[in-house]
Copies of this chain bind each other. A is one copy, B any other.
Amino acid sequence: MPLALPPTIGKSMADELSIDPWGSSQSTDYSRIIDQFGLQSMQDVDVPNPSRLHRRDVIFAHRDLEFALKEHEKDNLFLYTGCGPSGSIHLGHAMVWKFTKWLQDVLDVDLWFQFTDDEKFLFKDKSFEEIQELMKDNMLDVIALGFNPKKTHFLIDTKHASIMYPEAIKVAKKLTASSIKSCFGLGDSDNVGMFFYTAMQAVPAFLPSILKKKKMACLIPHAIDQDPHFRLTRDILPKLGFFKPASIQCSFLPPLTGVEGKMSSSGDAFIALTDTPEQVKKKINKYAFSGGQDTLEEHRKRGGNPDIDISFQYLRFLFEPDDKKLSKIKSDYRTGKLLSGELKKILIDKINDFLKHHQAEREKAKKKVDQFVLKI
């Protein structure tokens, strides 16, 4: 039977928000997103020791987080997130996964990490072999972020299809073509793998319950563009005897070129986790949108606007852990004491410190992959 979904999620409906796992343009009006898609604001939840991303409203919404935390008290919760291997891992991915690692550390639970190689093959103009190479490479970045190898399980859609496909068809049997069309904006000229795919993305939300033979709660930290998948998953899982997965929505790390939209690894205006210090310096200086004034004199007199300044925003999203220091940078910039070039320099140094450590861990990760990939 068709799912009763509002026709508002999907591609470019006039005057409607567009949230779509595969679109390049995305809405970033987060309070409207909360209203329109029935999310709960993160501000309404009492989180005992909020992460930096909570405090700075980067984590802006959730579904059923209280339920997940209650199940956690009963030792009945796992985490699930994922990676679609279609290019280099950039800071936008790292942000969601660093938050996921924070959650894993705080909650001390298993994390199921899905690699959707099927999805990227079906949706991108890339060969199967290219996607496999990208996936192997992407895994190194995920491991380098420091996930607990004893509690982190990589699920690869194609490699683990013998355990995933039999479950995916149970989801697919309850999903009509029309529900996929209205949820994702797909049409009859799209390929049938695209129609089927969301069923595979639903599986890690209940597979651990099957493997552990008990009905467990699932919490999914994810970037907001994945929400359409998990809305469908939430509709279907109770029909299969599982809990609706809870979720936490991250806003997008913006591209270097401005605060609208999301960072993407197409083009050149993003920071990859494999960039050299020189590349980072060049990219930030060339592309990072500045909220400063046109001339030094004017900047000193009128100050800059941190709200639209990408360098400041990246410090807020990712690179300045200290709230007081961040606050000082903000006021110094706003008053004109801190110049755009100086702000960029702060960011460049922070990013390069992070990448130096990350890239060293990434080298070590090459020997750790087997510890993470689920044994079958």
Indicate if the CB atoms of A122 and B169 lie closer than 8 Å: yes
Indicate if the CB atoms of B162 and A160 lie closer than 8 Å: yes
CB distance from A286 to the nearest CB of B (A): 37
Knowing A177-B188, A178-B188 are in contact, say whether A165-B172 is a contact too (CB < 8 A): no
- Residues from chain B with a CB closer than 8 A to the CB of A176 are 188-192
Question: Which B residue's beta carbon lies closest to that of A160?
Answer: B162
Chain A to chain B contacts (Cβ below 8 Å), 18 pairs: A2-B189, A122-B173, A158-B166, A161-B164, A161-B165, A165-B165, A174-B191, A176-B190, A177-B186, A177-B187, A177-B190, A178-B188, A178-B189, A192-B195, A192-B196, A192-B198, A193-B199, A195-B195
Residue from the list B157, B162, B191, B198 in contact with A175, Cβ < 8 A: B191
Indicate if the CB atoms of A191 and B162 lie closer than 8 Å: no
**7 more CB-based (< 8 A) A-B contacts, given A172-B192, A173-B191:** A122-B169, A122-B173, A175-B191, A177-B177, A177-B188, A177-B195, A181-B188
Within 8 A of B (CB), among A252-272: none
- Residues from chain B with a CB closer than 8 A to the CB of A159 are 162
- Residues from chain B with a CB closer than 8 A to the CB of A157 are 165
Is A22 at the interface (CB under 8 A from chain B)? no
How long is the Cα–Cα vector from A170 to B195 in the complex, in angstroms?
Answer: 14
CB distance from A74 to the nearest CB of B (A): 28
Knowing A166-B128, A177-B177, A196-B196 are in contact, say whether A172-B160 is a contact too (CB < 8 A): no
Indicate if the CB atoms of A199 and B192 lie closer than 8 Å: yes
Q: Please report whether the interface of chain A is mostly helix, strand, loop or mixed according to DSSP.
A: helix
Question: Which B residue's beta carbon lies closest to that of A172?
Answer: B193
CB distance from A237 to the nearest CB of B (A): 15
Question: Which B residue's beta carbon lies closest to that of A165?
Answer: B161
Question: Which B residue's beta carbon lies closest to that of A188?
Answer: B178
Is A309 at the interface (CB under 8 A from chain B)? no
What string of 1s and 0s marks CB contacts (under 8 Å) between A196-214 and chain B? 1011000000000000000
Taking the full assembly, how many copies of this chain does it contain? 2
Interface size on A, as a range, is 35 or more
Nearest 3 A/B pairs, CB to CB: A172-B193, A161-B165, A196-B196
How long is the Cα–Cα vector from A162 to B162 in the complex, in angstroms?
Answer: 5
Is A89 at the interface (CB under 8 A from chain B)? no
Is A376 at the interface (CB under 8 A from chain B)? yes
How long is the Cα–Cα vector from A151 to B167 in the complex, in angstroms?
Answer: 31
Indicate if the CB atoms of B173 and A193 lie closer than 8 Å: yes
Is A180 at the interface (CB under 8 A from chain B)? yes
- Residues from chain B with a CB closer than 8 A to the CB of A99 are none
How long is the Cα–Cα vector from A66 to B2 in the complex, in angstroms?
Answer: 47
- Residues from chain B with a CB closer than 8 A to the CB of A225 are none
Is A113 at the interface (CB under 8 A from chain B)? no
- Residues from chain B with a CB closer than 8 A to the CB of A165 are 118, 157-158, 161, 165
Question: Which B residue's beta carbon lies closest to that of A196?
Answer: B196
Is A121 at the interface (CB under 8 A from chain B)? yes
Knowing A161-B162, A162-B160, A162-B376 are in contact, say whether A121-B173 is a contact too (CB < 8 A): yes
Indicate if the CB atoms of B193 and A169 lie closer than 8 Å: yes
